[in-house]
Structure 1
Amino acid sequence: MTAAAYRVTPARVLRSEWHKLRTLRSTWITLLASAALVLGVGILMGATYTSDGGDSDVDTVVLSLYGSQLGGICLAVLGILVTAGEYATGMIRASLTAVPRRLPVLWAKAAVFSATVFTVSFVAALVTFLTAQVFLGDTDQAASLTDDGVLGALAGNAAGVTLLGLVALGLGAALRSVPGAIGAFIGGVMVLPEVLGALPYDAVETAVRYFPTQAAGALGSAAPMPGAASPGAALLALCLWAAVALAVPALLLKRRDV
């Protein structure tokens, strides 16, 4: 009975990681900052929109959720703090001592982070879209949740920023440094595709469509975006990026000391 009471189980590891995530002040600061940025930019876009302006040909959901790019940076920082933050404080030693197999800690962090971020992102996207429609209701950007592709685009937007956050979480676990992981995410995930996209080669342009930030953008549109990957291909690409980003620290956890 005593041994069973202290046995390490997946549910207990998940509960432990959830407790750590929800009790950190940085978690709520970054989640609220992300939601506030998405909502604030959405209201700004809706309030300043004119039918004869330069945004008239932009997808309604994309227009409403322009702030997702800024909010996604906050969520990426949160993902990095979830993993690299423990290395910075030394808390990771206690976590891995309690779970000697190590990998369940990484999987639990990823699962808890994904569930939390997707929920917050989807609610923020839903509220932002409905709020923006208060301003857009009498324009050519008027839409409702029942229109074709709208709910899917809102869920796709949430899935995109969640998977980008998972990539950041993996970078944090691999590099074990908060500044280093933030630099790698901004430089490698956000800036590098823009640089490569400027090269005059069709093959490079096609490949860039499947880079994380570009694939995430394709998921958040109610209508197909010209020059972007299809939603299915974009989701698959993002899942593969996130899987690779988590596989690297998983391998390092098994091969080296804390």
Structure 2
Amino acid sequence: MTTTTGPAAGPYRVTPARVLRSEWHKLRSLRSSWITLGSAAALVMAVGIVMGTTYTSDGGDSDVDTVILVLYGTTLGTLCTVVLGILVTAGEYSTGMIRASLTAVPRRLPVLWAKVAVFAGTVFTVMLATSLLTFVVAQIFLADTDQAASLTDPGVLRAIAGNAAGTTFLSLIALGLGALLRSVPGAIGAFIGGVMVLPEVLSMLPYDAVETAVRYFPTQAAGVLGSATPLPDAAPVSGALLALALWAAATLSAAAALLRRRDA
């Protein structure tokens, strides 16, 4: 009689569902995960309510897109989710937990893809719910102003969903940088320098080609997704969404390639 052993045998074999469940358990069991997500949601809501309560029609901001005005706090909220994305990957290297994860899943890549799926689903859900609630609450105070709008107005729901999607993609880029650099401070520095500062520096160059290219950099593309009306001198919504997806895919693909080659 032949006895089969190893990770594929018996009730304890490694399956995609079990890897996903393991990563979800790790994310939700850490108090820092919910503190960070809660901070992101609180910042978005707080800024949105402040914008709603302090806005006046004669303040000179009537040309600002309503969704951008209400969800202006998304910039601060995204910083929180970016840090969380880095902690999801680089944080495991700093604590040494990654060795246990890769021992349990020797093929390695399922661990990374499970992290991506769990993290992306969580961030998108939290930010979408937060954006919807913030918009509705802020509109209570904006009802008698020139920024009054409803969820059924053209482009509003798309912009709210796009706002959550933009945050999610930026956070996935951060997660990929964390997996690439395996250092929390290093990944935070790389994100700030490469994703946030570099486009601003390049935009000062007097070249049309550079100006066009900068429109498709991550932070600029994310801003396009969160607007209910077309922004001047910006990428189209479809192009911005594709650019964000490609930036995230490139970062995560590089992280996956190095994960297969380097020791934990």
TM-score w.r.t. the length of structure 1 is 0.98
The corresponding residue for 2:143 is 137
Match of 2:248, as an amino acid?
A: A
- Structure 1 residue 106 corresponds to structure 2 residue 112: yes
Match of 1:25 among 20, 28, 31: 31
Following superposition, the deviation at residue 223 of structure 1 comes to 0.8
- Structure 1 residue 149 corresponds to structure 2 residue 155: yes
Q: SS of the residue aligned with 1:195?
A: helix
Could you give the per-residue CA deviations for residues 79-132 of structure 1, whole angstroms, max 9, x where no partner exists?
Answer: 000000000000000000000000000000000000000000000000110111
- Structure 2 residues without counterparts, runs of 5 or longer: none
Q: SS of the residue aligned with 1:37?
A: helix
The corresponding residue for 1:169 is 175
The corresponding residue for 1:216 is 222
Q: CA RMSD in A?
A: 1.0
- Structure 1 residue 92 corresponds to structure 2 residue 92: no
Match of 1:159 among 161, 165, 169: 165
Could you give the per-residue CA deviations for residues 15-51 of structure 1, whole angstroms, max 9, x where no partner exists?
Answer: 0000000001110011000001100111111111111
> Which residues in structure 2 correspond to 1:1-258 (within 5 Å)?
3-258=9-264
What is the rounded CA distance, in whole Å, between the counterparts of 1:107 and 1:16 in structure 2? 12
What is the rounded CA distance, in whole Å, between the counterparts of 1:88 and 1:163 in structure 2? 24
Match of 2:112, as an amino acid?
A: L
- Structure 1 residues without counterparts, runs of 5 or longer: none
Comparing 195-204 with 158-167, greater Cα deviation is found at: 195-204
Could you give the per-residue CA deviations for residues 179-210 of structure 1, whole angstroms, max 9, x where no partner exists?
Answer: 00001111110111111112221111110100
What is the rounded CA distance, in whole Å, between the counterparts of 1:192 and 1:33 in structure 2? 26
Instruction: Work out the number of aligned pairs and report it.
Output: 258
Q: SS of the residue aligned with 1:20?
A: helix
What is the rounded CA distance, in whole Å, between the counterparts of 1:200 and 1:64 in structure 2? 33
Following superposition, the deviation at residue 4 of structure 1 comes to 2.5
What is the rounded CA distance, in whole Å, between the counterparts of 1:81 and 1:54 in structure 2? 41
Deviating beyond 3 angstroms after TM superposition, the runs of 4 or more aligned structure 1 residues are: none
Query: Is the radius of gyration larger for structure 1 or structure 2?
Result: 2
